[in-house]
Amino acid sequence: MRLHREGTPTILLTVAIVCFGLFFAWTWAPVWLAWIVTLLLLTVFTIVVWFFRVPSRKVTLENNAIVAPCDGKVVVIEEVEETEYFKDKRIQVSIFMSPLNVHINFGPISGTTSYYKYHPGKYLVAWHPKSSTENERSTVVVEHPQHGEVLFRQIAGALARRICTYSQVGQPAEQGKEFGFIKFGSRVDLFLPMSAAMNVRMGDVVQGSVSVIARFKS
C-alpha cells in the first residue's frame, strides 16, 4: 500500500509516540497493562496509516461528466446562490468525508484553472449549513473548454486543520488527477451549472475520480 506524502509528518510523529509509549509501558507498567497499551497504540498507528493511503483506481475520463472530487457521502443537493465567484444560481452538491474515507481530492473536470482563493475561518462540523461559507476553505474554479466553469471548494471540518491545494491559476487541470488533500474529517462542495443533469441522489456514497456526479448537457 502506498502512502500519501502529506502524511509523512503525522506518521513520523505517530511512530515516535508509539515507540515512547511502548517503552514506557513495558518498562514501568504491569504486564497486563502493557499489553492493553500496546494494543491501543498499534490501533492508533494502523488508523493513521490507513487514513493516508493512496488508492489504486481506474479513473473515469469522460468529456461530458463531472466526477466526484472525493470519497464520501452526498449530504447536500440543492439550488443555491453562489456568492464568492459566480454570484448567480448554481446546483450545490456537497460530499462529506468521514475520517475513514480516502482524503485525496480529485479534479472533477478537465480544463484550465481560472480561480483559486484560500479563506481562513472557523472549524464548524463539516455538515453544518454554514461550513461552506464560514469554515477554513479553499475555492478552485476550472473552466472546461466546451462546457464552461465549475467551482469546487475544500472545506475543513471540526477535526480537519490543514487544507492542501495544488491548483494554480492559469495551469491545466485534469479530470481524475489529484488537486489537493484535506487532513481528517471534512467536506467538498461542487457548484454546477443549473443545466447539469444530476447522476446522484442524497445519501449516495461516491468514490473520488470514479463516480459521476452529473453530466453537462450537450
Band (pLDDT 50/70/90 cuts) for residue 184 is: low
Give me the residue spans of the domains in the chain.
2-54, 65-215
Report pLDDT for 47: 87
Segments in 52-155 forming alpha helices (H): 131-134
Give the residue numbers annotated as catalytic, written as ranges.
186
Domain 65-215 annotated CATH 3.40.50.300 = no
Asked if the model's pLDDT at residue 205 lies above 60, the reply is yes
**pTM to 2 decimal places:** 0.86
The alpha carbon dihedral of 125, 201, 217, 87 has a sign of negative
pLDDT single digits (tens) 115-153: 999 988 666 665 555 556 667 889 999 999 999 999 999
Segments in the chain forming alpha helices (H): 8-28, 31-51, 131-134
Report pLDDT for 4: 82
> How far apart are the C-alpha atoms of 46 and 154, rounded to whole Å?
26
Report pLDDT for 128: 58
> How far apart are the C-alpha atoms of 125 and 95, rounded to whole Å?
13
Percentage of the chain surpassing pLDDT 90? 65
Report pLDDT for 158: 59
> How far apart are the C-alpha atoms of 76 and 135, rounded to whole Å?
17
pLDDT single digits (tens) 45-97: 998 888 888 888 899 999 999 999 999 999 999 999 999 999 999 999 999 98
> How far apart are the C-alpha atoms of 192 and 198, rounded to whole Å?
10
